[in-house]
Chain A
Amino acid sequence: MEEVILKVSNLNVELDGDKIIKNLSVDIEKGDIWVILGPNGAGKTVFLRTLLGVLPYRGKIEWKKKVKIDYVPQRLPMIKELPINVKEFFELKKATYREIINILNSVGMKEDILRKKMGDLSFGQFQRILIAWGLVDNPDVLLFDEPFAGVDVSGTESIYDLIERMHKERKLVILLVSHDLNIVYKFAKNVLCINKKQICYGKPKKVLNPKMLTELYGGGIKFYSHEHD
């Protein structure tokens, strides 16, 4: 049994009178990869933001002491309002030049990207820079909000490889939000399904079955078999 990094018990989140998350409990251990699965509007992003301490909640969220958490949001639409280049974006985190170069290498990017404006990056570059930004100060936990949304298949593969590699190299805890079932099969060691309330919790092979998925997504989804190692 590995060390518990995060213990969530009986989490309830209510925004403007709407119950977004009901009675959610989960234990997350060191080195875990979790995918938080659910349809759009199920409260997945709210869950991440609650873990970050941005939203009010009832229940308990206990992080291990001194744990360093980083957050990779889905998009940063406001960044186009500022003429900020990649280097300056990293410097917001007080990263040194050497640290920036090292992390760029790990995500497969070169130094010449540093002088580009954040707003001029392609979608794929932007996504990599965000991941690198999340990693640059060596977090223990990385929270990802839909890192594959809007990325084509080959892009998804490479971001997936990247996250997987980072996980192995750094023994990172990863919590990744997705509405895409494929991601779970490729990626997750553990899965937490939510649709306002907690619907499943555990190893994907054990907990994902047609009945559960119908409950999670409603009647519309077809359960397809998958290849798994």
Chain B
Amino acid sequence: MIDSFLLSLITVIFVGGATAYLGSLMIAKRMALVGDALGHVALPGMGLALLLGLNVSLGAFIFLILGILLIWYFEMKTSLPMETLVGVVFVTSLAIGFLIVPEVELLEALFGDIAKVTLRGAILSVVLSFASIFVISMIYSKLVMANISEDLAKAEGVNIKKYNLIYLMLIAVVVALGIKVTGTLLVGALVIVPAAAAKNFSKNLKQYTYGSLAIGAISGVAGMLLYNLTGFPAGPLIVLVSCVFFLISLFLKR
């Protein structure tokens, strides 16, 4: 039997790294709060999974995909900004989620409980995180080009629609992974805070992306160690460690 603490530790390193790595693209695209809001979109999916006795992460993932498709559909139907649409979808999901998530599990769904991770769950998280990091690194320069200017990217022959779809799928995957660690309420922090901290002190793209990934992973480790010491829930501790990194980065600002 592998120590459950060790399992959670390995899981948060990978999940923290993957969410932060993708986060470096998301905050550059001014989509920081999309990750945050999507965390809440997962809530009804988790509730349904609990009611039906299915895998909670799978339920979260399916609802994330549905949420993304819904936002994408609304965006075509109205001229309201993305931000507003995400807002509408996320409060709706939250309200439904509160109604259907059983009360006993609600706290866990909201704040996560990585300490309870199983061997299978840990392996799945590590594999998916690793795969996400790999895919992100493969398409990073194309997405950066599309971020800078879609026209420029298209002139270079980048298929924007294809890469945007891959990008949105990646968001759904890493947010679903992140929810296991911090719960739906705080998953946005895994995406936003490490990237924001890295951006403050970075002189170039390399420092920024790998810095973000490293801060995400290190915050995971430090948060888990603090959890072991104090017994407070791991999710909020991980988030707070990354916030400390952010505060430090303010003084390292180049």
Contacts and interface: CB of A to CB of B under 8 A. Distances in A.
Contact of B205 (A49, A69, A83): A83
B154 A52 contact: yes
A172 to B, nearest CB: 15
Contacts of A71: 151-152, 155
Nearest to B24: A82
Contact of B204 (A53, A78, A84): A84
Given A69-B155, A70-B155, A84 B203 contact: no
- Do most interface residues of chain B lie in helix, strand or loop, or is the interface mixed? helix
A189 interface: no
A115 B203 contact: yes
Contacts of B152: 71, 73, 76
B206 interface: yes
Contacts of A1: none
A58 interface: no
Given A54-B150, A76-B149, A117-B203, A82 B28 contact: yes
A83 B28 CA distance: 9
Interface residues of A, number: 24
Interface in B184-218: 199, 202-208
B105 interface: no
Interface residues of B, number: 23
A74 to B, nearest CB: 10
Given A83-B199, A92-B145, A93-B156, A54 B151 contact: yes
Interface in B126-160: 141, 144-145, 147-152, 154-156
Nearest to B25: A82
Contact of A88 (B28, B155, B199, B204): B204
A79 interface: yes
B157 to A, nearest CB: 9
A143 B151 CA distance: 12
Interface string B152-177: 10111000000000000000000000
B28 A81 contact: yes
Interface string B16-45: 000000000000111000000000000000
Identify the interface centre among A53, A54, A88, A92: most chain B CB within 10 Å of its CB. A92
Nearest to A82: B28
A79 B155 contact: no
Secondary structure of the A contact surface, majority rule = mixed
Contacts of B29: 81
A157 interface: no
A78 B141 contact: no
Contact of B144 (A49, A70, A84, A115): A84
A92 to B, nearest CB: 5
B144 A92 contact: yes
Contacts of A70: 155
Residue among A71, A83, A84, A85 with the highest chain B CB neighbour number at 10 A = A83
Contacts of A83: 199, 202-205, 207-208
Contacts of A82: 28, 144, 147-148, 205, 208
B12 to A, nearest CB: 26
Contacts of B199: 83
Given A81-B30, A88-B206, A92-B141, A52 B148 contact: no
B207 A49 contact: no
A216 B148 CA distance: 33
A161 interface: no
A91 B151 contact: no
5 contacts: A54-B155, A71-B152, A71-B155, A87-B204, A115-B203
